[in-house]
């Protein structure tokens, strides 16, 4: 049998399909249930599922997408380890812990949305996630992330709130983080062509005049036209005292 099910537990799947829908009555996906099934590209998990066991989807090398229902209250260790083609994941509200092997070697993972319920993220949780550039997380949970991932999360926040003028607790937390790390974040924004993140920093006065001059030159040298234009516009509006405009940066 390609699928072993006992009552409301999916014990093991060994089918040949590229897409699989977990049956609607299943509540438990057991440890290693799909591990090593390398033909699956997508899996539908129904709202009935409340528990996903450890390493349940480990080494599903072709898996590109999976939607986890909000009803899931327990996720085991290393669930997506070595899912090389997985592109994005939204963890359900109620998830408390991301283990050290949860997303290990998910080389294609580009987008990750974490719930406000998260309380702990183990070191190495995103090891090998070299394309993970978008991380959505509540600012109050920012410091749970590994250091490198914090920058991606802050950049994501700034991109999504580029027109923000408010003074709520979330924006204050982000602004405090940016204030001591503006050079690193400007480098990252320029490398990723993130004009919206630069717009956020300029609107909220998070770029000092000396840094503005230095990064205007860097942006122009890297041919980041939109970012360079934003910096020039901001400098003109604020009558920047440092002479930034003697030469045309686009020449």
DSSP string covering 186-241, please? HHHHHHTT-HHHHHHHHHTT-S-HHHHHHHHHHHHHTT-HHHHHHHHHHHHHTT-S
- 3 state SS of 152: helix
Q: CA-CA distances (angstroms) from residue 127 to 80, 107, 112?
A: 12, 9, 14
pLDDT at 244 over 60: no
pLDDT tens by residue, 14-67: 999 999 999 999 999 999 999 999 999 999 999 999 999 999 999 999 999 998
Asked whether 121 and 142 are in contact (CB, 8 A), the reply is no
pLDDT tens by residue, 203-212: 999 998 888 8
Domain over 1-132 is classified CATH 3.80.10.10:
yes
Determine the average pLDDT of the residues in 178-195.
93
pLDDT tens by residue, 73-90: 889 899 999 999 999 999
Determine the average pLDDT of the residues in 153-167.
90
Residue 248 confidence class, pLDDT cut points 50, 70, 90? very low
Q: CA-CA distances (angstroms) from residue 96 to 49, 73, 145?
A: 17, 9, 13
Counting beta carbons within 10 angstroms of the beta carbon of residue 39, is it exposed (0 to 12), middle (13 to 18) or buried (19 or more)? Answer: middle
Asked whether 80 and 102 are in contact (CB, 8 A), the reply is yes
Determine the average pLDDT of the residues in 125-139.
94
């Amino acid at each position: 049998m390609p699928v072993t099910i006992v009552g409301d537990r999916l014990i093991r799947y060994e089918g040949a399909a590229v897409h699989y829908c977990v049956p609607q009555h299943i509540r438990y996906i057991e440890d290693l249930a799909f591990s090593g099934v390398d033909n699956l590209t997508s899996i539908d998990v129904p709202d009935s599922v409340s528990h996903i066991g450890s390493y349940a989807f480990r080494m599903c090398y072709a898996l590109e997408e999976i939607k986890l229902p909000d009803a899931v209250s327990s996720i085991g260790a290393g669930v997506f380890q070595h899912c090389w083609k997985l592109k994005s994941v939204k963890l359900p509200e109620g998830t408390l812990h991301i283990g050290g092997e949860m997303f290990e070697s998910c080389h294609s993972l580009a987008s990750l949305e974490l719930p406000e319920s998260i309380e702990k993220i183990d070191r190495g949780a995103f090891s090998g996630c070299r394309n993970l550039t978008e991380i959505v997380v509540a600012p109050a949970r920012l410091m749970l992330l590994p250091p490198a991932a914090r920058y991606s999360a802050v950049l994501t926040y700034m991109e999504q709130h580029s027109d923000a003028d408010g003074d709520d607790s979330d924006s204050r937390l982000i602004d405090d983080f940016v204030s001591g790390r503006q050079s690193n974040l400007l480098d990252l924004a320029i490398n990723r062509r993130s004009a919206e993140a630069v717009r956020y920093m300029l609107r909220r006065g998070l770029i000092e005049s000396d840094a503005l001059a230095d990064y205007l030159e860097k942006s122009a040298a890297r041919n980041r036209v939109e970012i360079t234009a934003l910096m020039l516009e901001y400098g003109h509006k604020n009558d920047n005292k440092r002479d930034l405009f003697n030469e045309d940066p686009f020449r």
